[in-house]
Structure 1
Amino acid sequence: MLKIMNVEKSYSRSKMFRLSMNPIVKDVSFECPVGKSIAIIGESGSGKSTLSKMVLGIEKPDKGSVTLNDQPMYKKKVRNHQISAVFQDYTSSLHPFQSVKELLLEVMCQCDNKSKTVMEARAIELLEEVGLSEVYMNKYPNMLSGGEAQRVAIARAICMNPKYILFDEAISSLDMSIQIQILDLLVNLRSKRQLSYIFITHDIQAATYLCEQLIIFKTGKIEEQIATKDLHLSVNAYTKALIEKQLSF
């Protein structure tokens, strides 16, 4: 069980004057059981990315705790191979001078002592699992479309068989038709692998398609937690405003 309990995080407004702190995440708590998917929905600047760094163990909270099976997530041995991530900017998350094969094998080598031949065969299986063929093994990121690059990023994220995957605005830079394809892929992977997703987004429609539970995030705080099936019953003014804003596009 992944638990976020009373988490707070602030950053200094100035490197010279650390007494002036800017609170980014404020007393946030939620849980994500294995096999469930949660969306964290908020507009730009709401603190979603800061929260994601703490969930991934990249940063420690100033207060509160982020734990996996009651162990602190900031410890590498706790999070190792248990959680992975797919980010919005695939151009920076995929090394431009590594082929797809090299990108996948680099991660596999961290958790697998099998021969290179066996790992290459496994890499091909992973590509096929995300809807790509063997011909992509020798391609480089600059040879891929946005959707293809995100499929490679997803293949890399699942190659360690994690329990959790965090998606940080992972489909927002893609065309609408590609977004739908990636969402369908994520639904299928989740069912097949019994994965849990933490889906960080500003897109309520994508969140409701993928997740059972929604967390509405505003200025570093949880405005509302609600089951996807009950979203139409929400009386929260901010939640309703987000829905109306998206429906108006």
Structure 2
Amino acid sequence: MIKINHVEKHYGKRSLWGPKPKPIIKDVSLDCPVDEAIAIIGESGSGKSTLSRMILGIERPDKGTVTLNDQPMYKKKVRRHQIGAVFQDYTSSLHPFQTVRDILFEVMCQCDKQSTDEMEVAAKILLEEVGLSEDFLDKYPNMLSGGEAQRVAIARAICINPTYILFDEAISALDMSIQTQILDLLKRLKHTRHLSYIFITHDIQAATYLCDRLVIFKDGQIEEQIATRDLHTTTNAYTQALIDKQLSF
């Protein structure tokens, strides 16, 4: 299980005369159990993406710990093959000079010793799982639509057979109809592959569609945790404001 325990993060250097480092994450604690889909919901600047980087081990907290099965997440050997990631900017997350085949093979080579023929078969199966034909293996990222590129990114994330996948605003740049298709795909993959999700988003509607539990994030702190099925009972003013704001569009 991923455990976030009293985590704090500041940006800026300490000095005698300059301003104090700015607190970005303030004493956050959160458990992310296996087989659960958790949404971390917050507006721009809330600190949710900083928290996601610490969950992925990209950054280390100034205080507190982020662990996977009681081991520090910042150690590569701890998180290797255990957590995949899909990011918002699909144009930069896929290497522009690699074909889809190359992108998938690169990750497969880091996981298991397989022959080229075995990886070819596995790559075709992965593409089928995410709703793409094997013809996409020879395509480059600039030949893909936004939805197709994000499906490739999802295929890359699942090819390591992870326990967790973290999505950092992974659907926010897509058209609404494509967002719905990707959410349906993620629901199906969670069931068929028994995946656990950490879904970072500003979109409370997408979060309630996909996730079991909602973590409302504001100013670097957890404002509220609530089961999705109980969202209609919330009495938290900020949570209700987020709901009202999105329903008004």
Normalised by the shorter chain, which TM-score bucket?
A: over 0.9
CA contact (8 A) 1:24 1:47 kept: yes
Number of the residue aligned with 2:248: 248
The aligned residue for residue 121 of structure 1 is: 121
- Listed one character per residue, the Cα deviations across residues 25-54 of structure 1 (whole Å, up to 9, x for unaligned) are 111111111100100000001001100000
Q: Determine the structure 1 residue equivalent to 2:171.
A: 171
The aligned counterpart of 2:186 is 186
**What is the DSSP-based 3-state SS (H/G/I as helix, E as strand, rest coil) of the residue aligned with 1:35?**
coil
The amino acid of 2:184's aligned partner reads: D
* CA distance 1:17–1:186, change in 2 (3 Å): farther
Structure 2 residue 87 is the aligned partner of structure 1 residue 82: no
Alpha-carbon distance in 1 for matches of 2:166, 2:15: 30
User: 1:20 Cα deviation (Å)?
Assistant: 2.5
Note if 1:229 corresponds to 2:229. yes
Give the AA of the match of 2:110.
Answer: Q
Whole-angstrom CA distance in 1 between matches of 2:18 and 2:211: 39
Partner of 2:219: 219
Contact 1:13 1:22 in 2 (8 A): no
The residue aligned with 2:68 is 68
Partner of 2:208: 208
Q: 2:4: which partner in 1?
A: 4
Q: Which amino acid aligns with 2:204?
A: I
Q: Is the 8 A contact 1:4 1:28 kept in 2?
A: yes
SS at match of 1:109: helix
How far off is 1:112 after superposition? 1.2
RMSD: 1.4
5+ residue gaps, structure 2, are none
Number of paired residues? 249
Extract unaligned runs of 5+ from structure 1: none
Contact 1:12-1:18 within 8 A present in 2 as well? no
What is the CA distance between 1:189 and its match in structure 2? 0.2
Query: TM-score, structure 1 length as denominator?
Result: 0.98
Aligned to 2:141: 141
> Distance in 2 between the 1:224 and 1:132 partners?
38
Structure 1 residue 117: deviation in Å? Answer: 1.0
Q: What code does the residue aligned with 1:156 have?
A: R
Cα distance in 1 for residues equivalent to 2:136 and 2:14: 46
Report the alpha carbon displacement of residue 16 of structure 1 after superposing the two structures with TM.
11
